[in-house]
Amino acid sequence: MPLIGQIELRDETSGLRTVLEYPIKTMNVIKSPVRYQVDTGALIVPDFSTIAEFQVEHFDVDHVVYNKPDKDEFILRKPRDITRKDGSVWTINDYSERKVYSGQNRLFAAVRS
């Protein structure tokens, strides 16, 4: 059954609001007690905190993970330094930074009748 997720995010400081819609690739469900967790990405998500010059710099590439209808957790893809055994340092892009928003999550299922 195809699942679609929708997240509404609001930034209290700027008053900006955004709605993200995306296909859900992975969702874990436990029947008893009833619990779920959405884990999908990559998504392009606005970064409300940036003061970058160009609009394209106001977005992050994230994976979304959540298990509550009013709390959104994103794992951001950011540059990260890795020190090798020989002492050299490499910079890689990795999903290594966590960001949590208060928001509203909605789940939709595409069902044939």
Q: Is the pLDDT of residue 74 over 80?
A: yes
Q: Is the pLDDT of residue 33 over 80?
A: yes
Angle at 10 between CA 8 and CA 15, to 5 degrees: 140
- Sign of the dihedral defined by the CA atoms of residues 52, 43, 8, 37, in that order: negative
Lowest mean pLDDT among 26-40, 43-57, 61-75: 43-57
The one-character DSSP state at 85 is: T
Q: Which pLDDT does position 103 carry in this prediction?
A: 81
CB distance 41 to 66 below 8 Å: no
The one-character DSSP state at 97 is: E
The strand pair at 17-23 and 3-10 is best described as antiparallel
pLDDT band for position 50 (cuts 50, 70, 90): confident
- Entry pTM: 0.74
Q: Which pLDDT does position 29 carry in this prediction?
A: 92
